[in-house]
């Protein structure tokens, strides 16, 4: 009884077999089929390697939401060199709430030569080249995000030469904490003095001939300082054509949460528009000579997340590639054989054209002769 049930179960499983086994003696092979099989296997191998490379790669996903954090402070990281002596310039921040943040709260004034060393010039040229490529290829920003902490810092290397040249410039570097509202970070002549209606700079003791706001922005960023991230103004250098010249940078800051397989940080991206003009009150160009960075905080926050293809999705795509190529090549091979048989049949029929046989009444017989058993002997 058990054997009978077992045999019925075995027969049922055989009927459900979706992969019937064909004896090798019933399978006909051909040179064309072998060629198509070779092409199919080569294509499968190539596409499998490409799909594996896609599986290993990652991409950045961008999500947007409203920034509800209004109470925290915003950090500004600064490294700017101005072609004037440190006792002649002053830097500070004034926001829309009339809150002044003096440079003494976190900035350092360091007398340095304005001219760069060959090694520093090389890094500056590299930064400028990257900036030009980023303006053309926006997708490169994803590569920079994924390579954060893997590359070296974008700050200029220290000077290696022991030049006896006297410092003719002032390097202002460090960081400041400001309110998360629109503000104006500026560097102009004279030290800042606060007063109830704002603030003023003591510029009366500095002659106009000594004004020179040629500057180099080695680094400017907002939020947490992340080594390896290149910001839009890094490597910028401006040379003043006049003593009384104003350089303006209009900056829009976007809060950003960065989550990659290497780091997880809260930073800020920003876009910038530049403008420069000569101050000439007689010609109607009013203002104050200096470097002005007017920033505004976006109400939207961007979350950048590095994602990876799941393994099950990789398997599904791989099975689709293998099965699709086998099915497609089989259809093409069958269609090719069908077309070839039709062409060969036409040639065979053409070879059996009848010859004209004269009849007694003067007509011709164009029909094929009847083949009989006697005609074969």
Alpha-carbon torsion angle 206, 210, 214, 219, nearest 10:
-40
Cβ neighbour number for residue 306 with a 10 Å cutoff: 17
Query: 25-68 pLDDT, tens per residue?
Result: 666 667 777 787 888 888 888 988 998 888 888 878 888 888 88
* Bigger pLDDT: 16 vs 46: 46
Among 26-40, 85-99, 292-306, name the one with the lowest average pLDDT. 26-40
pLDDT for the residue 371: 47
Give the pLDDT of residue 267.
83
Pick the residue with more confidence: 105 or 175? 175
Residue range 338-366, pLDDT digits in tens: 787 788 776 666 655 544 555 555 555 55
**Which residues, including other chains, have CB under 8 Å from residue 29's CB and lie 6 or more apart?**
none
Rounded to 5 degrees, what are φ and ψ at 327? -65, -45
**Does pLDDT of 183 surpass 60?**
yes
Which of 10-19, 99-108, 318-327 holds the top average pLDDT?
A: 318-327
Give per-residue pLDDT as tens, 123-168. 888 888 877 777 776 655 666 666 655 544 556 666 665 556 678 8
φ, ψ dihedrals at 180, nearest 5°: -85, 60
- Residue 11 CB contacts under 8 Å (≥ 6 apart), including other chains: none
Minimal CA–CA distance to 328: which of 52, 17, 47, 30?
47
Q: What is the mean pLDDT of residues 307-327?
A: 87
Report pLDDT for 81: 92
CA distance 198 to 182: 15
pLDDT of residue 308: 83
Cβ-contact 78, 172 below 8 angstroms? yes
Strands (E), the chain: 58-66, 73-82, 89-95, 100-102, 107-112, 169-179, 183-189, 192-195, 198-201, 215-223, 236-238, 245-259, 264-278, 290-297, 300-308, 357-358, 364-365
Does the structure show a pLDDT above 80 at 300? yes
Polymer length of the chain: 377
pLDDT of residue 238: 92
DSSP-based three-state secondary structure for 359: coil
Burial of 363 (0-12, 13-18, 19+ CB in 10 A): exposed
Counting residues of the chain whose pLDDT is more than 70, the rounded percentage is: 74
| Confidence tier at 376 by pLDDT (50, 70, 90) | very low
Neighbours of 51 (CB within 10 A): 16
Please name the residues in contact with 359: beta carbons below 8 A apart, sequence gap of 6 or more. 365
């Amino acid at each position: 009884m058990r054997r009978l049930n077992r045999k019925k179960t075995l027969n049922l499983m055989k009927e459900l077999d979706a992969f019937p086994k064909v004896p090798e003696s019933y399978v006909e092979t051909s040179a064309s089929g072998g060629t198509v099989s070779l092409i199919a296997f080569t294509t499968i191998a190539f596409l499998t390697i490409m799909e594996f490379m896609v599986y290993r790669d990652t991409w950045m996903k961008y999500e947007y939401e409203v920034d509800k954090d209004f109470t925290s402070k915003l950090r500004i990281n600064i490294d700017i060199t101005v072609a004037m002596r440190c006792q002649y310039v002053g830097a500070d921040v004034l926001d829309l709430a009339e809150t002044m943040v003096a440079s003494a709260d976190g900035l350092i004034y360091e007398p340095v030569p304005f001219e760069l060393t060959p090694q520093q010039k090389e890094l500056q040229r590299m930064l400028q080249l990257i900036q030009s490529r980023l303006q053309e290829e926006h997708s490169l920003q994803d590569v920079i995000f994924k390579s954060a902490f893997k590359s070296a810092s974008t700050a200029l290397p220290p000077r290696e030469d022991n030049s006896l040249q006297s410092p003719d410039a002032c390097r202002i570097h460090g960081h400041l904490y400001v309110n998360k509202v629109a503000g104006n970070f500026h560097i102009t002549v004279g030290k800042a003095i606060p007063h109830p209606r704002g603030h003023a700079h003591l510029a009366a003791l500095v002659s106009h001939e000594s004004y020179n706001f040629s500057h180099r922005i080695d680094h400017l960023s907002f939020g947490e300082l992340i080594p390896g991230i290149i910001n839009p103004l890094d490597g910028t250098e401006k040379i003043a054509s006049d003593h009384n010249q104003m350089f303006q940078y209009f900056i829009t800051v976007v809060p950003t949460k960065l989550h990659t397989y290497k780091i997880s940080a809260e930073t800020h991206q920003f876009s910038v528009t530049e403008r420069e003009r000569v101050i000439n009150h007689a010609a109607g160009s009013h203002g104050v000579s200096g470097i002005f960075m007017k920033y505004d905080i976006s109400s939207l926050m961007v979350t950048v997340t590095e994602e990876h293809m799941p393994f099950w999705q990789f398997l599904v795509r791989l099975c689709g590639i293998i099965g699709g190529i086998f099915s497609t090549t089989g259809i093409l091979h069958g269609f090719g054989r069908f077309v070839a048989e039709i062409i060969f049949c036409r040639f065979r029929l053409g070879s059996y054209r009848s010859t004209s046989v004269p009849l007694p009444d003067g007509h011709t017989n164009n029909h094929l002769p009847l083949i009989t058993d006697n005609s074969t002997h």
